[in-house]
Amino acid sequence: MKVIIIGAGTGGMCLAHGLRRAGIDVAVYERDRTRTSGLHGYRVGIDPHGSQALKACLPPELYRTFVDTCALPPKRFAFLDEHLRPTLTITLREPADDVNDEKSVSRMTLRQVLFTGMEDVLHFDKTFRRYSYEPDGRVTAHFADGTSATGDLLVGADGVNSPVRKQRLPHARLEDAGIIAVAAKVPMTPESLSLVPDWLFPGIGMVLAPRGMACILHSMEFPFLDQRFDGGGAESLLFDNTRNYLNWGLSAATGKWPADVMGLAGADLIGLVTAMTPSWDPRLHRLFALTDPTTCFPINIRTSVRIPPWPTDSVTLLGDAIHTMTPGQGVGANTALRDAQHLVEALTSGRPTLAAVADYEREMLDYGFRAVEASKAQTGGDQLVHRPVIGRAALAFQRTFLRATDRIPAMKRRFEASLYETRG
Ligand SMILES: Cc1cc2nc3c(=O)[nH]c(=O)nc-3n(C[C@H](O)[C@H](O)[C@H](O)COP(=O)(O)OP(=O)(O)OC[C@H]3O[C@@H](n4cnc5c(N)ncnc54)[C@H](O)[C@@H]3O)c2cc1C
């Protein structure tokens, strides 16, 4: 069997590793021109589902490199107000092992780790345009440069705007979640660190502010930058440019932003974020001012609309290509990794290929769209906090609830239990 994967992202590369380790012939086609091109964002949070999938699919030494190149694991998770006063602080458990914990990884580092050792199957500068079916049931992918590749199964792992999905399931749609976010990196220096409460590091802070505004803060400190690596680890990092940083991401309902926000970048965007948060603590404004403008960009958050199952054939989909979700639960990449693991398991189960793909699609549609819906419920422009008058009352209620949870041990234990249940 030959499997063709379109897209060398998180899900596509995990799948490629898993299939190759199982002895299945695989080829990956990626539109990026080189292994270092593209701005692939900043942090991605890998939960136990994601780690399990990576552990199952990657060679053991590469999984070790992945673990070793993560940022210091978060020790605390705190909700704050816009004056950086905590309303609820959770001290996170020490990692039990190298799978069942929450990991913070730089997207570029993860990408480089996933490319390691795959040079012979990975083809850059190949923009997929369309596919066609062969008379013998195989499928051919056609690329923008006029070349093509034929296999028994084609997997669209080509992300949110997936051209594979547009051809395979033209009725599948995305909709705006009603939220726009602006995200950026601030180099980690003594000054930038002094602006955020030191008890928050290493950790995750979520500022919940009036007008439905929220700002997430992550500290990304990488012990591996001071280490020497041998073998695959060294190769992965040769192409990586990650440094320690603080990451912030401010989100608000679409209507709160000026109409031209999606056309802004860099210093203009940082200026806009500062102007939109006049009552916020001066430390947060200073943090915005210290941002590296080349890392600042807006994101119009979108989400997939659920579709009913479809008849299986030799073209399938995984990850954002089929179930794009808001960052509400932080599980988009984890779900793409879970898809990759399930598809490897299905294709190596001994079942005929199409029956195996049908099994995969049935399961993936179920947990994938449940994750889409849960993420939308958590980050959607229709939430009460975004409404003009009632939004204030909703924020006041939210803060009272968080403070009460912080003070009442039984409530805090319940909150922690639910956090660990959904996120390991
Ligand atoms: C602000 C934000 C924060 C997030 N945080 C988290 C988090 O903490 N945890 C989490 O689990 N998820 C998070 N996500 C979601 C996560 O980033 C995505 O769900 C994940 O990257 C999807 O992986 P994928 O493999 O499906 O697609 P991608 O990783 O997007 O890969 C798609 C690949 O396909 C390539 N491609 C596209 N078109 C073509 C073409 N025509 N031909 C060839 N190649 C093509 C692209 O270049 C890319 O390499 C976040 C998302 C956002 C927006």
| Residue located nearest, by CA, to atom 2 of ligand 1 | 327
Q: Is the CB of 368 under 6 A from ligand 1?
A: no
pLDDT at 230: 65
| pLDDT of residue 328 exceeding 90 | no
d(CA 192, CA 229): 29
Q: How far does the centroid of ligand 1 lie from the alpha carbon of residue 159, in Å?
A: 5
Q: Which of 147-151, 243-247, 292-296 has the highest mean pLDDT?
A: 147-151
Measured between alpha carbons, how far is residue 105 from residues 62, 152, 291 in Å? 14, 34, 20
Rounded to a whole number of angstroms, the CA Rg of the chain reads 22
d(CA 100, CA 176): 33
pLDDT at 227: 72
The number of distinct structural domains making up the chain is 1
Mean pLDDT score of the chain: 93
pLDDT at 71: 92
Q: Is the CB of 320 under 6 A from ligand 1?
A: yes
pLDDT at 243: 85
Q: Is the CB of 32 under 6 A from ligand 1?
A: yes
**H or E element, residue 253:** strand 245-253
Q: Is the CB of 339 under 6 A from ligand 1?
A: no
Domain interval for residue 52? 2-423
DSSP 266-281: HHHHHHHHHHH-TTS-
pLDDT at 232: 61
pTM of the full structure: 0.94
Measured between alpha carbons, how far is residue 379 from residues 9, 161, 281, 334 in Å? 24, 20, 24, 17
Quick: pLDDT tens for 174-229: 999 999 999 999 999 999 999 988 888 889 999 999 999 999 999 999 988 877 66
Strand partners, 184: 248
Q: Is the CB of 424 under 6 A from ligand 1?
A: no
Which CATH number characterizes residue 414's domain?
3.50.50.60
Q: Is the CB of 6 under 6 A from ligand 1?
A: yes
- Model confidence at 94, in pLDDT bands (50, 70, 90)? confident
Strand partners, 79: 88, 206
Strand partners, 77: 90, 204
Mutation to probe ligand 1, out of 4, 10, 128, 318 (largest number of atoms < 8 A from CB)? 10
| Residue located nearest, by CA, to atom 26 of ligand 1 | 319
- Model confidence at 331, in pLDDT bands (50, 70, 90)? very high
Does residue 17 contact residue 59 with C-beta atoms inside 8 Å? yes
Q: Is the CB of 128 under 6 A from ligand 1?
A: yes
d(CA 96, CA 415): 20
- Model confidence at 234, in pLDDT bands (50, 70, 90)? low
Q: Is the CB of 31 under 6 A from ligand 1?
A: yes
Average pLDDT over residues 125-150: 97
Q: Which atom of ligand 1 is nearest to the CA of 331?
A: 11
CA torsion, ordered 273, 274, 280, 286, to nearest 10 deg: 120
Does residue 314 contact residue 358 with C-beta atoms inside 8 Å? no
Enter the tokens of residue 283. Answer: 């430390």
Which three-class secondary structure state does DSSP give residue 27?
Answer: strand
Quick: pLDDT tens for 350-384: 999 999 999 999 999 999 999 999 999 888 888 88
Cβ–Cβ contacts within 10 Å for residue 181, how many? 21
Q: Is the CB of 48 under 6 A from ligand 1?
A: no
Question: Cis (ω within 30 of 0) for the bond into 202?
Answer: yes
pLDDT at 39: 64
